[in-house]
Structure 1
Amino acid sequence: MIELSDRLEQFVLEIPKVELHLHIEGAIPLETLFGFIQRREDNKLIKNLEDLKKRLVYSNFAQFIKVWLWKNSFITEYEDFEELAYRVLQSLSKQNVKYVEAFYSPRDFTFRNKKLSACGITESLIKGKKKAFDDFGIRSELIVDVVRDYGPRMGMDLIKELSGYLGRG
């Protein structure tokens, strides 16, 4: 029975896959998030990956949102978004994923960090995905997530702001 299970696991790993609904900020590999946390001097509570795993535990939707916002607080520079895209796609390529449609929520970051723009975040994600394609052969497309919590006007502004990227990433 174990042999069959090992063979099945290997088979599943080797078959080509597509990922059609992924939120790129939520798919961040633990090691990448840990690196972002370590770059920020204001957080010394997370000393290793085990501490990080414990911090990411939640039991209801309200806790999930708190964890999500806490995690996002460490993605603060355009370079972080480029690395985020690259590392997520690298991780997926190791699972033999060949194509990804990745949602991203720029307003979750620009709303709290005024030095970031939706266009800058988009450009950075495009750089990361292009590098991942060059290095791993994984294809990907970005889909902007218009988070309704920010209201319809901000949603329409975001669509106008990013309309020039249609078909580019």
Structure 2
Amino acid sequence: MIELSDRLEKFILEIPKVELHLHLEGAIPLNTLFGFIQRQGDNKLIKNLKDLKKRLVYSNFVKFIKVWLWKNSFITEYEDFEELAYRVLQSLSQQNVKYVEAFYSPRDFTFRNKKLSACGITESLIKGKKKAFDNFGIRSELIVDVVRDYGPRMGMNLI
């Protein structure tokens, strides 16, 4: 691994940045995800952040999908989406990111949780991004990820 001088590292942290391709659900800060897991209280294997980091390791695409679905299973309330957007944008603002275009996949959540709707998820994410703008000055836009696995009809219904 290449070591950066303190001066170069400081420069990289301080330059303004733009994030043009980010999946909100994949950028969730570990502390936020850990809080969601603890709130549900039914996952005895994740006792701390170290356990969580180990659980998020995968070696191939199939394992990645399993980890992705497992992680998503803890994002269950509209308030979670608001906090998710807020915490992701807070984390990015700490890296001096000024603008973000973030994808999100509402169908990944509404498919398993019938009490959630794509509109409700979107409204919650908008609340979180507005709060992040007010608190950190970070601008962001949301892009609905119409996951092709659900087929074209489902995609059109989502839009």
TM-score range, shorter chain: over 0.9
The runs of 4+ residues in structure 1 deviating greater than 4 Å are 1-4
Aligned length: 159
Aligned with 1:18: secondary structure? strand
C-alpha distance in 1 between matches for 2:94 and 2:42: 33
Counterpart CA distance in 2 for 1:3 and 1:110 is 44
**Residue aligned with 1:3, SS:** coil
1:99 and 1:44 map into 2 onto residues whose CA distance is 38
Structure 1 residue 3: Cα displacement:
9.6
Residue 39 of structure 1 deviates from its aligned partner by: 0.2
Change (3 A) 1:149 1:16: same
Counterpart Cα distance in 1 of 2:58 and 2:43: 20
User: Could you say what the CA RMSD is over the residues aligned between the two structures, in angstroms?
Assistant: 1.6
SS at match of 2:70: helix
Distance 2:15 2:147 in 1: 34
Q: Following the alignment from structure 2 to structure 1, what is the Cα–Cα distance between the partners of residues 97 and 66?
A: 30
1:41 CA displacement:
2.0
Partner Cα separation in structure 2 for residue 4 and residue 154 of structure 1? 47
C-alpha distance in structure 2 between counterparts of 1:66 and 1:3, whole Å: 34
Mean Cα deviation higher: 94-103 or 1-10: 1-10
Q: What residue ranges of structure 1 are gaps of 5+ in the alignment?
A: 160-169
CA deviation vs aligned residue, 1:23-71 (integer Å, no higher than 9, x gap): 0000000000000000002112100000000000000000000000000
Q: CA 1:44 to 1:99, structure 2 compared with 1: closer, same or farther past 3 Å?
A: same
Deviations 1:84-139 (A, max 9, x none): 00000000000000000000000000001000000000000000000000000000
State the alpha-carbon separation in 2 of the partners of residues 3 and 37 from structure 1. 35
Tell me the residue number matched to 2:126. Answer: 126
Compared CA separation, residues 108 and 3, structure 1 to 2 (3 A):
closer
Change (3 A) 1:55 1:4: closer
TM-score w.r.t. structure 1 length?
0.92
